[in-house]
Chain A
């Protein structure tokens, strides 16, 4: 069982927007602004898409945005494209001895 809770799957049509949630506790997501999001295509390594809740690395499309409210962080993808179909993982710093926690992952299907 992962420390952070994500929906197993979400779907949307091209051009639409979707949001993936990532729920933790006050010891991780809620207590610190160190939430990151990763995109993973099948057979590929994860790619950093969002860091520190809402920041995009250079080269990441502005269609990807992040936010946080309380113990839940969210990744929103607007203007869905076929290539957005992938698995998405959230991660957070945690003050527990675990130090780094990942979510269980969400499979995004573009219909």
Chain B
């Protein structure tokens, strides 16, 4: 059974870089049918798509975050990662990794999410 698990620091200082990793278990991240994405949710607010990546390295980013976001993939470890630079308190959120089912353009499997707080 496919599972996704986010990991990374729960506290990041303003102006620093937020780094998270999503470990995929139960299937290969190298399947051509899927992209692997990040979505975040500020406390009490809705979902915001950050971006996603194919195992080939092809990426799509939310234009509103593109200048600060990098998503990468490590097929040898069956992981993909998120970096958000120059963070502010507005980046405080629960960060979810999820599998994006290309044929249906939907996120069909989600990680449990990890809370990241930006504070000095």
Contacts and interface: CB of A to CB of B under 8 A. Distances in A.
A31 interface: no
A36 B111 contact: no
Interface in B18-45: 39
Most chain A Cβ neighbours within 10 Å, of B48, B104, B106: B106
Interface in A46-91: 46-48, 51-52, 55, 57, 89, 91
B110 A46 contact: yes
B104 to A, nearest CB: 4
Contact of A105 (B47, B49, B64): B47
B108 A45 contact: no
Interface residues of B, number: 20
Nearest to B104: A51
Nearest to A99: B60
Interface of B: 39, 46-49, 60, 62-64, 96, 101, 104-108, 110-113
Q: Across chains A and B, which 4 residue pairs bring their CB atoms closest together, nearest first?
A: A34-B105, A36-B106, A51-B106, A45-B110
18 contacts: A34-B105, A36-B106, A44-B112, A46-B107, A46-B110, A48-B108, A52-B104, A52-B106, A89-B47, A91-B106, A91-B107, A98-B62, A98-B63, A100-B60, A100-B105, A102-B46, A103-B46, A105-B47
